Amino acid sequence: MNYQPLPNRYDLMRYNRTGNSGLKLPAISLGLWQNFGTCDIADNYKRILLTAFDSGITHFDLANNYGPPPGSAEEDFGNILHRELKYYRDEIIISTKAGYKMWDGPYGDWGSKKYLTASLDQSLRRMKLDYVDIFYHHRPDPETPLEETMAALNLMVKQGKALYIGISNYKPAEAKKAFRILKELGTPCLIHQPKYSMLERWVEDGLLDLLETEGVGCIPFSPLAQGMLTDKYLNGIPDDSRVKKGLGFLSTKHITQDKIELAGKLNEMAMRRSQSLAQMALAWILKDKRITSVLIGASKPEQVTASVQCLQNLNFTQEELTDIENLLSLRAKM
Ligand SMILES: NC(=O)c1ccc[n+]([C@@H]2O[C@H](COP(=O)([O-])OP(=O)(O)OC[C@H]3O[C@@H](n4cnc5c(N)ncnc54)[C@H](OP(=O)(O)O)[C@@H]3O)[C@@H](O)[C@H]2O)c1
What per-residue confidence (pLDDT) applies to 245? Answer: 83
Whether residue 264 is contained in a domain is answered as no
Distance CA 305, CA 297 (A): 12
pLDDT along the chain (334 residues), means of 10: 92 98 98 87 93 98 96 96 96 98 98 98 98 98 98 98 98 98 98 98 98 98 97 93 84 91 97 98 98 97 98 97 95 60
Residue 333's pLDDT is: 56
The reply to whether 330 falls in a domain is: no
The closest of 165, 169, 168, 167 to 156, measured between CA atoms, is 165
* Ligand 1 centre distance from Cα of residue 305 (Å): 14
Whether 99 is in the pocket of ligand 1, judged by its Cβ within 6 Å, is: no
Residue 136 phi, psi (nearest 5) = -110, 145
* Domain assignment of residue 189, yes or no: yes
Rounded CA gap, 52 and 63, in Å? 18
Let me know if residue 268 belongs to a domain.
Answer: no
Residue 2: per-residue pLDDT: 83
CATH of residue 130: 3.20.20.100
Query: Rounded to an integer, what distance in angstroms lies between the CA atom of residue 131 and that of residue 162?
Result: 5
Instruction: Give burial (CB, 10 Å; 0-12/13-18/19+) of 269.
Output: middle
Q: Is 298 in the pocket of ligand 1 (CB under 6 A)?
A: yes
**CB of 199 sitting under 6 A from ligand 1:** no
Does 174 reside within a domain? Answer: yes
d(CA 101, CA 123): 14
pTM score:
0.97
Say if CB 87 and CB 53 are below 8 A apart. no
What's the start-to-end Cα distance of the chain, in Å?
55
Number of domains in the chain: 1
DSSP result, 82-135: HHHSGGGGGG-EEEEEE-S--SSSTTSSTT-HHHHHHHHHHHHHHHT-S-EEEE
Q: Is the CB of 241 under 6 A from ligand 1?
A: yes
Is the C-beta atom of 52 inside 6 A of ligand 1?
A: no
The parent domain of residue 104 ranges over 10-227+281-311
CA separation for the pair 177, 181 (Å, rounded): 6
**Structural domain contains residue 318:** no
Q: Which pLDDT does position 97 carry in this prediction?
A: 98
Protein residue with least CA distance to atom 10, ligand 1: 221
Ligand 1 binding pocket includes 163 (Cβ within 6 Å) = no
67 lines ligand 1 (CB under 6 A): no
- Residue 171: inside a domain, yes or no? yes
User: Is residue 262 in some structural domain?
Assistant: no
- How far apart are the C-alpha atoms of 200 and 272, rounded to whole Å? 24
Q: Which residues pair with 222 in a beta bridge?
A: none
For 210-230, b/e burial (b = at least 16 CB within 10 A) is: bbeebbbbbbbbbbbbbbbbb
How far is Cα 22 from Cα 289, in angstroms, rounded to an integer? 17
Residue in 222, 276, 310 to alter for ligand 1 test, most ligand atoms within 8 A of Cβ: 222
Nearest to 61 by CA among 295, 306, 307: 295
